[in-house]
Structure 1
Amino acid sequence: MVAVATQDYRDTPIEPDRDDGRPDIEADVDAAPHSPHAVQRVTWAELFFDLVFVFAVTQVAHAVSVGDGWGDLGRSLLLFVPFWWAWVGCTIQFNGLVVSATRRHLLLLAIAGAAFVMSISVPDAYGDRGVLFGGAYFGARILLAVVGRIREAFRQRINPISGALVTGALWMLAGLLPAGTRQWAWLALAAVELSMPLVLGHRLDYMRFDASHLPERFGLFVIIALGETLVGIGQGGTHKALDGTEGTALFVAFILSCGLWWTYFQYGASAAEHALRVAKIPAALVRSSFSYGHLAFVVGIILAAAGMAQAVAGPAEHPHGVHALLLGSGVSLYTATFCYTRIVMFGGASYTRVIASLLAIVITVLSPGLPALAPLVMLAALVIALNAFELYWVTSGRPLMLINVGQGAAGR
């Protein structure tokens, strides 16, 4: 599902009766022509833009890994919220945007620059770089408002873009507060931003989205997060002898990372694209399965990455407290999120993934006091067993085992 761009966008849309194999972009207005062959692909500029968020995920994952206790974990994950909403806002606004390649690239690079400043501010965001972190985020929000105005994304004055401008300014001003007060102010602002799609998201309902480009972009962010698992275990393996327990931990961690990739991209990615194509109101999926669901996917991967890095660095050690729970909680959150996304898309959750998420929780509860290698092996075996069983079940032509709870946005 994740593809690499082969060429950049045209400056103008392809006419409805033409199909020369080149990318087709349509304005998000009623008068825009609709090509039956319209496909918007990820561009080189977007891939470069994503590199900044590779750095951002690395910074947040490192903060999670070195944090001491639940407070540090919460503060670290809190910093990921503005990164996520900046990336989601950019992905949605640039989906179907009709603008020249030069303007598109300049806007993307400008937003990437703001995100880069945010990234370098992460280690000291609760210290001297609070204003820099918040100010860079506010800058990204201003640029996204410019893009939204170009695209004419909203018809109402009060909308997610105008709301984000207010919260962005408050993120910057909160950076002036003492560290203890700042964290609570940012937490309140994060809660407001997380609730905004629920409160104002219905104003997206009239918008059209390219059903190839949007799932591809969100899939690419899952790849970014999964890349952090490889970076974490790779760095641990670089400084350890690759024999005995250390070599086993490195191998098992890599297998687990592959299993997490398979869990999403074997069936989940194509299901998300199909759901977006057939949904009566695609925006309902954009603000639920994509915005919220993929946030949970990425947070789960970040937690798992931190846990895997610690397991590879000290496989025979007995982690305690929050560090003992990172790996299992990350895998359980990641697996359980598939249940949520499938329910909102198709109205039912897979029995296999419900069971797998519950078993991952059991392993998480058992993890404190065990050698770090033990839960790593158990979770890797669980993920591989889940994928192997689903592959067997689907290829044998058997009906899906679903817990039906209602009617999803894309039907059943």
Structure 2
Amino acid sequence: MSAPTPAVRVSTLELFFDLVFVFTITQLSETLAEDLSLGTLGNVLLILAVVWWMYSGYAWLTNAVAPNSTTRRTLLLTGMAGFLVMALAVPEAFGEYGWLFGVSYLVVNVVHSALFRTAGPGAVDAMKILTPLNILAALLVLGGSLVDEPWRHLLWVLAPILQIAGGYLHRAEMHNIAAGHFAERHGLVVIIAIGESILSIGAGFHGMHLGGGAILTAVLALTVAYYLWWFYFSGDDARAAHALAAITEPARRARMALSAWGYAHYPILLGIVVTAVGIKTTVGHAFEALHWAQAVALSGGVAIYLLGHAAFLALLRLRGVYHRLAAAAIVLAVIPLGHLRAIAQLAAVVVILVATAIIEDLPEVRRSGGTSISDFGRTAHE
């Protein structure tokens, strides 16, 4: 069994890496906003699947191998370069620059495997199984750029299937997860993604007259982003880290890390992408009717995020699951409002999120004599 290099907090280099990765999320949002169709959404789902798998792989990597030497930092920089080029190629990943995305993805995989060879013997043994599968998945993505449809998408679909299978074809006890570092690393990428979505939405206001509708849209968009933050970080992130740390059996802890921070975080990030797209459609059209696809994106993105976080909490057996499920259902129910006025749907989504947060927070406030769950979250972090 491998022992991770001691690391109490996420390093600034890992945070730098996360900033580069989140550029991929921004690119996916921009790509979907330019062509809000089922075909483009399908492409976004596939790209996010393979990219998130390897980001998660790097999170597992730095959990076991601290980037504390020149060689490791240089290899990590090479991986960052691969993610950057992949992000640049995202808009044409199924077109002109598919080969560039594929080559960059292969580089990211090779660097990941090379760095893991400097970990403990358990992790090295695990990579003897995972490396061939990850490389094969990368070659499938690259191969997809060299063939025509329907083979292109078929190869892309096979890639994440192969990667997921790899997660179950080796013994989980080969990994020893440092719970605090692992939870913090994934929490940081979520907050960065939310922040980047605000920047992406803000860019849509460039050159636009800042009238009442535009200002109201901006404030409501910020409020939506705030409550996406609230649902993840108002204490549940600390409780999740404690729940993971409480699992003493290495195999069970590794499986929980894969399920809760790997699979459940995929819809969380997808929700951020789609929410940003939905909100951007209201920019400049606050008092106009949205097309159905735009209205679905606005509510659907928030609902996907809430469902993803509900799954995350359910896996860890933490409270708040039903609040998020109910909020997701009600958010979807207000989609018709967008077909009347964009701002009406956006405002309704905000009201639903605020009401859900208050309802969830109220019992904790009463039990603590006035101390909110947000205060609990800050205390837990301190």
TM-score for both structures, normalised by structure 2 = 0.88
* Partner residue in 2 for 1:21: none
* Partner residue in 2 for 1:60: 28
- Amino acid corresponding to residue 160 of structure 1 in structure 2: L
Pick from 346, 370, 375 the counterpart of residue 340 of structure 2.
370
With over 3 angstroms needed to count, the CA separation of the structure-2 counterparts of 1:195 and 1:360, relative to structure 1, is farther
The Cα of 1:157 is off from its aligned counterpart by 6.9
* Partner residue in 2 for 1:49: 17
* Partner residue in 1 for 2:2: 28
Question: Which aligned pairs between 1:138-217 and structure 2 lie closer than 5 A?
Answer: 138-151=106-119, 152=121, 153-155=123-125, 159-178=129-148, 180-197=150-167, 199-200=168-169, 203-217=171-185
Q: Find out whether 1:379 has 2:349 as its counterpart.
A: yes
With over 3 angstroms needed to count, the CA separation of the structure-2 counterparts of 1:189 and 1:333, relative to structure 1, is same
* Partner residue in 2 for 1:291: 262
Pick from 91, 110, 123 the counterpart of residue 123 of structure 1.
91
Q: Find out whether 1:338 has 2:309 as its counterpart.
A: yes
- Amino acid corresponding to residue 288 of structure 1 in structure 2: S
With over 3 angstroms needed to count, the CA separation of the structure-2 counterparts of 1:141 and 1:39, relative to structure 1, is closer
Pick from 224, 227, 244 the counterpart of residue 192 of structure 2.
224
Comparing 177-186 with 116-125, greater Cα deviation is found at 177-186
Asked if the contact 1:246/1:312 (under 8 Å) is kept, the reply is yes
Q: For 2:337 and 2:137, locate their aligned partners in 1 and report how far apart those are by CA, in whole Å.
A: 39
Q: Find out whether 1:317 has 2:291 as its counterpart.
A: no
Which secondary structure state, in structure 2, belongs to the residue aligned with residue 396 of structure 1?
helix
Q: For 1:346 and 1:194, locate their aligned partners in 2 and report how far apart those are by CA, in whole Å.
A: 23
With over 3 angstroms needed to count, the CA separation of the structure-2 counterparts of 1:179 and 1:67, relative to structure 1, is farther
The Cα of 1:180 is off from its aligned counterpart by 4.9
With over 3 angstroms needed to count, the CA separation of the structure-2 counterparts of 1:192 and 1:322, relative to structure 1, is farther
Which secondary structure state, in structure 2, belongs to the residue aligned with residue 311 of structure 1?
coil
Asked if the contact 1:317/1:371 (under 8 Å) is kept, the reply is yes
Identity of aligned residues (%): 28
Asked if the contact 1:229/1:309 (under 8 Å) is kept, the reply is no
Note the residue ranges of structure 1 that are not aligned, 5 or more in a row.
1-26, 399-412
Note the residue ranges of structure 2 that are not aligned, 5 or more in a row.
369-382
Count of matched residue positions in the alignment of Structure 1 and Structure 2? 363
With over 3 angstroms needed to count, the CA separation of the structure-2 counterparts of 1:308 and 1:289, relative to structure 1, is same
Larger relative contact order (CA 8 Å, sep ≥ 6): 2
Q: For 1:310 and 1:99, locate their aligned partners in 2 and report how far apart those are by CA, in whole Å.
A: 41
With over 3 angstroms needed to count, the CA separation of the structure-2 counterparts of 1:195 and 1:297, relative to structure 1, is farther
Asked if the contact 2:265/2:309 (under 8 Å) is kept, the reply is no
- Amino acid corresponding to residue 60 of structure 1 in structure 2: L
TM-score for both structures, normalised by structure 1 = 0.82
Q: For 2:68 and 2:188, locate their aligned partners in 1 and report how far apart those are by CA, in whole Å.
A: 24
Q: For 2:18 and 2:66, locate their aligned partners in 1 and report how far apart those are by CA, in whole Å.
A: 21
Asked if the contact 1:204/1:283 (under 8 Å) is kept, the reply is yes
* Partner residue in 1 for 2:330: 359
1:109-148 Cα offsets, whole Å, 9 max, x none, are: 0100111111111122122211111111111111111122
Comparing 348-357 with 212-221, greater Cα deviation is found at 348-357
Asked if the contact 2:2/2:174 (under 8 Å) is kept, the reply is no
* Partner residue in 1 for 2:202: 234
Asked if the contact 2:183/2:241 (under 8 Å) is kept, the reply is yes
Asked if the contact 1:229/1:308 (under 8 Å) is kept, the reply is no
1:131-169 Cα offsets, whole Å, 9 max, x none, are: 111111111111111122221415357633331111112
The Cα of 1:49 is off from its aligned counterpart by 1.3
Q: For 1:68 and 1:51, locate their aligned partners in 2 and report how far apart those are by CA, in whole Å.
A: 25
- Amino acid corresponding to residue 303 of structure 1 in structure 2: V
- Amino acid corresponding to residue 2 of structure 2 in structure 1: D
Which secondary structure state, in structure 2, belongs to the residue aligned with residue 279 of structure 1?
coil
Which secondary structure state, in structure 2, belongs to the residue aligned with residue 313 of structure 1?
coil
With over 3 angstroms needed to count, the CA separation of the structure-2 counterparts of 1:286 and 1:102, relative to structure 1, is same
Q: Find out whether 1:101 has 2:80 as its counterpart.
A: no
Asked if the contact 2:63/2:178 (under 8 Å) is kept, the reply is yes
Q: For 2:67 and 2:238, locate their aligned partners in 1 and report how far apart those are by CA, in whole Å.
A: 28
The Cα of 1:214 is off from its aligned counterpart by 0.7
Q: For 1:315 and 1:181, locate their aligned partners in 2 and report how far apart those are by CA, in whole Å.
A: 42
Asked if the contact 1:41/1:212 (under 8 Å) is kept, the reply is yes
Which secondary structure state, in structure 2, belongs to the residue aligned with residue 237 of structure 1?
coil
* Partner residue in 1 for 2:58: 90
Which secondary structure state, in structure 2, belongs to the residue aligned with residue 295 of structure 1?
helix
